[in-house]
Amino acid sequence: MQLIEWDARAYDQLPLPHQRWGSATIRRLRLAGDETVLELGSGTGRDAELLLDALPAGRVVAVDGSAQMLAQLRHRLAGRMDRVTVVRADLREPLILDEPVDAALSVATLHWLPDHDVAFQTVAAALRPGGRFVAEAGGAGSVDRVRAALRTITGDDGGQWWNFAGVDQTTCRLQRAGFTGITVDLVPDFAILDSSEQFEAYLATVVLGAQLRELPAPQRRPFVHAVAREMGEPVIDYVRLQIDAMRA
């Protein structure tokens, strides 16, 4: 299956809960300031920018599959790209990076990857022994309200579009990939949008982005509108999977 392109302009205009997820996840890394940090699913570079601020003598290796998201990252980080390596890659496949890294971060990306064993092996292969991996993503129980609306409208809850993992599965996968000192939590965290317009833009750009690509363009807006109407309250019922682990 082809990699999905993200609408980077629309994405950066949204009031994203990802902003607080990103800064909280970076804080969990407790950086000294001279590390090289891998970011898996760097998107438009919002967290890479925070990482550069926290790494006056360090570097960021930003990996993402979307050309649009990476173009926006390069634009955002213009003037600081001497400390950034950009890698465009499909994270559904194993990836070997050219440089080893001291720490790794991933925000709101793992649930878009169908095989977490592959993603964790990519991180483990890049990390030096003792290096930390912190991540957060959608986890088991996420977006049940969206899925109920999809089931009502189409007869299918769209579960195949996301990989919402649980605590035990994730812990086993991290162990298999060579991690130790593993903590995994599931934390309910609802995103409340201000208006129906914002709600529909958020659904279209983030939650339903992948599904919409399958529909002919003229059907996309009416479909999003139907999902939003079926859901009623402009609330996305996220459950966040939070990971903290160390490369053995």
Ligand X SMILES: C[S@@+](CC[C@H](N)C(=O)[O-])C[C@H]1O[C@@H](n2cnc3c(N)ncnc32)[C@H](O)[C@@H]1O
Residues near ligand X, by CB under 6 A = 3, 6, 18, 22, 41-43, 46-47, 64-66, 69, 90-92, 107-109, 112-113, 206
CA dist., res. 105 & res. 1, Å (int) = 25
Count Cβ atoms below 10 Å from residue 105 Cβ, excluding itself. Answer: 29
Per the CB < 8 A criterion, the answer to whether 66 and 8 are in contact is yes
- In the complex, the smallest distance separating the C-beta of residue 46 from ligand X, rounded to whole angstroms, is 5
Whose Cβ is closer to ligand X: residue 42's or residue 170's?
42
- In the complex, the smallest distance separating the C-beta of residue 19 from ligand X, rounded to whole angstroms, is 8
Positive or negative, the CA dihedral 115, 177, 107, 45 is: negative
Whose Cβ is closer to ligand X: residue 27's or residue 229's?
27
- In the complex, the smallest distance separating the C-beta of residue 24 from ligand X, rounded to whole angstroms, is 11
β-pair partners for 186: 241
CA–chain centroid gap for 103, Å, is 17
CA–chain centroid gap for 196, Å, is 24
Q: Of 157, 164, 165, 166, give the one whose Cα is nearest residue 211.
A: 157
3-state secondary structure of 241: strand
Whose Cβ is closer to ligand X: residue 7's or residue 175's?
7
3-state secondary structure of 247: strand
Whose Cβ is closer to ligand X: residue 68's or residue 175's?
68
Whose Cβ is closer to ligand X: residue 80's or residue 92's?
92
- In the complex, the smallest distance separating the C-beta of residue 112 from ligand X, rounded to whole angstroms, is 4
Whose Cβ is closer to ligand X: residue 6's or residue 120's?
6
Per the CB < 8 A criterion, the answer to whether 134 and 244 are in contact is yes
3-state secondary structure of 239: strand
- In the complex, the smallest distance separating the C-beta of residue 173 from ligand X, rounded to whole angstroms, is 17
- In the complex, the smallest distance separating the C-beta of residue 155 from ligand X, rounded to whole angstroms, is 26
